[in-house]
Structure 1
Amino acid sequence: MSQRSRVVNLYKTLLHLGKDYPQGFEFFRTRLHRVFLKNKDETDPEKIEKMISHGNYIVKELEALYMLKKYRTLKRRYYNEQQ
């Protein structure tokens, strides 16, 4: 897979994950767009790889954040804290 397609795929993934962002989708989308535009002229393949790996790290962090949020919601909903 070429670097360009990986970057586009990463952007789409992050955009999809941004729908559940706590501060709102519009906040997330504008910041994401700004970051990708800032680095659009980068040509060094090593730097691009580094940025892609950092983006994948962000994806994993967002997924963990959402799972934790769901876990806390379920815990609050089904387990009564009577201590």
Structure 2
Amino acid sequence: MSQPHRKAALNLYKTLLFLGRDWPQGYDLFRKRLHKVFQKNSSETDPEKIQTMIKHGEFVVKEIEALYKLKKYRTLKRRYYDDS
């Protein structure tokens, strides 16, 4: 793996670990699954495939952030507005 891809993969891993702190099923489960996925793909050497996987990981980061924002919005809505 070339240096830019390695740096991007490490940055993605750190970002996902940070986002995993608020995972509903728990941080330990999230961390184990994340580690398993990155370990499974660690032997990949094709730069195009690595770039595709990194882009997919960045998409997953955006999806997780959107889920957390939706959860926050629903919580605030429940607190301040009447359900009826």
Q: TM-score, normalised by structure 2?
A: 0.95
Partner of 1:24 in structure 2? 26
Backbone CA RMSD of aligned residues: 0.9
**Unmatched 5+ stretches in structure 1:** none
Secondary structure of the corresponding residue to residue 2 of structure 1: helix
Query: In 2, distance between residues paired with 1:25 and 1:75?
Result: 26
Deviation >2 Å, runs of 4+: none
**Unmatched 5+ stretches in structure 2:** none
Q: TM-score, normalised by structure 1?
A: 0.96
How far is 1:72 from its partner?
Answer: 0.3
- Aligned partner of 2:34: which letter? L
Matched length: 82
Partner of 1:60 in structure 2? 62
Q: How big is each residue's C-alpha offset from its partner over 1:58-81, in whole Å with a ceiling of 9 and x where there is no partner?
A: 000000000000000000011111
Identity of aligned residues (%): 65
